């Protein structure tokens, strides 16, 4: 009888533990669902082709100093196209700033915006972008044919456009650099180059 009671107590204790584990698992799944942001729409392919020389243009930043886009230089360039009226752009600014900090030695981050100057000033104050290169004007966006915001383009030292795309999250931003690393212009191209889809006839240098 004693043994049965001990066994019963043990079973209850273990059952409570298992129930805790199951609940924990369910909670974790819930958190994962919350974190799985909808992936960005596939790139609307227009404008400059990736892995081609980026269009060269010079625009003046908000202090009137000239900024060169697409020229060969000492550092790569990350162009971040934003607007003060776009909430997702603002939510990405911390990520952009941290990328700029991490890769300060090899990457120039240029913010490109357009529209009302007072709103720009408010955005700059709010996100402490006073020291950043911040270009206000439609020319750059028109040259690179930016239709959707927030958009980012990565130009390497030689002035070649390495990656571009609509960015909705830190993961999308990081994927731009990953794209450069993998030598595939877009995620779609990378997926098509995987072995299981080799029936597609895409020419890739690997």
Partner 1 sequence: MHTDPIFIIASAIAIAVLLASAATHKLRAPARFARQLADYQLLPQALLHPTARLVPLLELAIAFALLVPVSRGFAAISAASLLALYAAAIGINLWRGRADIDCGCAGPDQAQPLRPVLLARNSALVLLALVASVAPVARDLNLFDGFVTLAAAAVALLIYAAADGLLANSPLLLKLIGR
Binding site for partner 1 (CB under 8 A): 5, 8-9, 12-13, 15-16, 19-20, 22-23, 25-27, 29-30, 33, 36
Is the CB of 29 or the CB of 119 nearer to partner 1? 29
Is the CB of 7 or the CB of 85 nearer to partner 1? 7
Is the CB of 26 or the CB of 49 nearer to partner 1? 26
User: In this structure, what token pair is assigned to residue 62?
Assistant: 């908000």
List, in sequence order, the alpha helices (H) in the chain: 2-35, 87-102, 117-126, 139-143, 170-182, 187-192
Contact 153, 78 (CB under 8 A): yes
Quick one: angle between helices 170-182 and 87-102, nearest 10?
50
- Whole-number Å distance between alpha carbons of 135 and 5: 76
Shortest Cβ distance from residue 178 to partner 1 (Å)? 23
Shortest Cβ distance from residue 140 to partner 1 (Å)? 37
Distance between the two ends of the chain, CA-based, in angstroms?
71
Shortest Cβ distance from residue 5 to partner 1 (Å)? 6
Shortest Cβ distance from residue 200 to partner 1 (Å)? 22
- Whole-number Å distance between alpha carbons of 153 and 54: 10
Is the CB of 13 or the CB of 41 nearer to partner 1? 13
Shortest Cβ distance from residue 176 to partner 1 (Å)? 25
Is the CB of 36 or the CB of 65 nearer to partner 1? 36
| Tally of CB atoms within 10 A around 115 | 13
Shortest Cβ distance from residue 75 to partner 1 (Å)? 39
Is the CB of 19 or the CB of 117 nearer to partner 1? 19
Kindly tell me the burial class for residue 22, based on how many C-beta atoms sit within 10 Å of its own C-beta (0-12, 13-18, 19 or more): exposed
List, in sequence order, the alpha helices (H) in 39-151: 87-102, 117-126, 139-143
């Amino acid at each position: 009888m004693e043994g049965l009671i001990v066994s019963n107590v043990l079973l209850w204790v273990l059952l409570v533990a298992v129930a805790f584990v199951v609940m924990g698992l369910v909670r974790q799944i819930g958190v994962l669902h919350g974190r799985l942001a909808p992936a960005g729409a596939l790139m609307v392919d227009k404008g400059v082709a990736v892995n081609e020389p980026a269009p060269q243009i010079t625009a003046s930043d908000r202090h009137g100093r000239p900024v060169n886009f697409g020229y060969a230089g000492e550092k790569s360039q990350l162009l971040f196209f934003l607007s003060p009226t776009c909430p997702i752009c603002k939510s990405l600014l911390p990520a952009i700033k941290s990328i700029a900090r991490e890769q300060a030695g090899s990457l120039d981050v240029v913010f490109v915006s357009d529209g009302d100057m007072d709103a720009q000033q408010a955005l700059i104050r709010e996100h402490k972008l006073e020291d950043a290169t911040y270009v206000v004007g439609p020319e750059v966006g028109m040259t690179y044919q930016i239709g959707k915001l927030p958009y980012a383009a990565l130009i390497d030292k030689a002035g070649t456009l390495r990656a571009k795309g609509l960015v909705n999250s830190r993961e999308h931003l990081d994927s731009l650099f990953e794209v450069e690393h993998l030598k595939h212009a877009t995620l779609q191209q990378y997926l098509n180059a995987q072995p299981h889809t080799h029936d597609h006839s895409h020419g890739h240098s690997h």
